[in-house]
Amino acid sequence: MFKLLLPLALGTFAVGTDGFVIAGLLPQISADLGVGVSAAGQLITVFALAFAVSAPILGAMTSSMDLRTVLLLALATFVVGNAGTAIGTTYGMVVGARIVTAVGAGLIGAAAFSAAAAIAPEERRGRALAFVMGGLTLAIAFGLPAGTLIGGADWRLTLWAVAGLGVVAAVGIAISLPRISLPVDSLRARLAPLRETWVFEMLIVTVMTLAGTHVLYTYISSALEGATAGSVGVLTVILLAWGVGNMIGNIAAGRLADRYPPQWVVAGGLAAAAVVLAISPLVIGTFVTATIWVVLWGVCVSLPVVPQQSRLVTHAPSASAVLLGLNSSSIYVGIALGGALGGLLQERVTPDRLGLVAAGVSVVALLLNLGTIRHATSGAPSVSRAAG
């Protein structure tokens, strides 16, 4: 099974690297294109918005298609977008290419996770989703630093490298992935879950979960100044430790979601994250304690993601592409919301205290998650009833 999942994980690794690496290349992009750093930063915003809007729409439009075909089309779009970014000579050209890239990236995410859920037997679905999600966590741990290092010579080289990853993933999918078709329902039936309050409650949980993480993570370099003393090398080591924690938590999440009710794995992860974030002001002042702390934080914040996906797929298998596309959009909305909230609080809260705010947001996510559990057990409508 995992041999079939490997090219899917490579695809999500390429998407994850592409989504995060631009932040490390902003000075070079700004200088090359002749725009300010703030304008270059809008490339990240444009990508996130295009991803968030396109993922659920294209997921709905393609959910009746063979997933291998969808993935190959999505990867082709992704590769073209990255190549266009790499050869873009004006700011407008690069913005347009980032929108094309985001459209491909959003569809890759929805289709890859849908394919993983379809390939795996139900009792191993959590581990399959975690394996594919591992591509994203690996990108956080190693793809971002590696891409930034490559881009130090020429930022365009990083985009060519990411495009190359997309080509390799496409070849792997074309060779090893069988044709995968989800249950054929009408478009109305596939969209039926969107009429359910429970689905939107679930998506809000995803938004708040990621917002709680990125309230602090967006400004982590400032928050860790006491531990890093301004050293980029020390900060890189600590961020790598955070990525390792994410990988550990992701692997654990898959196994836990297969063994225990996923909704309680989400609750446990959010509760643990709130506690770890709450003690952050006490432990991030030195390199040793900060490194240990970020590993624990990485483990906790990655626990809810895979169980959330598993809950959505179990709830409506034939609508999984739509729901997973919406969940991917919710992840990006949460990242943007967390970064915006952290930025608004900069004048009121010192960066090393943002962990307390993040803990509060995680508690809100936990309470919302408990609400989805109560709603489900009190008789939320099933997909078949909703589809009527």
- Stretch among 57-66, 155-164, 219-228, 352-361 having the lowest mean pLDDT: 57-66
pLDDT tens-place string over residues 71-92: 999 999 999 999 999 999 999 9
- Stretch among 100-109, 234-243, 245-254, 284-293 having the lowest mean pLDDT: 234-243
> What is the pLDDT confidence band of residue 217, given thresholds at 50, 70 and 90?
confident
> What is the pLDDT confidence band of residue 188, given thresholds at 50, 70 and 90?
low
> Number of helices and strands (H, E) in the chain?
19, 0
Question: Is the predicted pLDDT of residue 182 greater than 60, yes or no?
Answer: yes
Question: Is the predicted pLDDT of residue 380 greater than 50, yes or no?
Answer: no
Do 298 and 249 contact (CB within 8 A), yes or no?
yes
pLDDT tens-place string over residues 299-333: 999 899 889 988 888 887 767 777 877 888 888 78
What pTM, to 2 d.p., does this model score?
0.75
Question: Is the predicted pLDDT of residue 132 greater than 90, yes or no?
Answer: no
Give the integer Cα–Cα distance in Å for 280 and 290: 8
CATH 3.30.420.40 fits 183-379, yes or no: no
Q: What is the architecture of the domain spanning 1-182?
A: Up-down Bundle (1.20)
> pLDDT value at position 386?
36
CB count in 10 Å sphere of residue 92: 10
Instruction: Mention every residue, 6+ apart, whose C-beta is less than 8 A from residue 236.
Output: 145
Task: Concatenate the DSSP letters of all residues of 175-219 into one string.
Answer: HHPPP-------HHHHHGGGG-HHHHHHHHHHHHHHHHHHHHHTT
Give the integer Cα–Cα distance in Å for 52 and 50: 6
For the segment 244-272, the average pLDDT, to the nearest whole number, is 91
pLDDT-above-90 percentage for the chain: 33
DSSP annotation of 248 reads: H
- Stretch among 165-169, 190-194, 275-279, 358-362 having the lowest mean pLDDT: 190-194
pLDDT-above-70 percentage for the chain: 89
CA atoms within 13 A on the CB side of 265: 26
Mean pLDDT is highest, among 127-131, 191-195, 317-321, 370-374, for: 370-374
Q: What are the residue ranges of CATH 1.20.1250.20 in the chain?
A: 1-182, 183-379
User: What residue spans of 63-90 are helical by DSSP H?
Assistant: 67-87
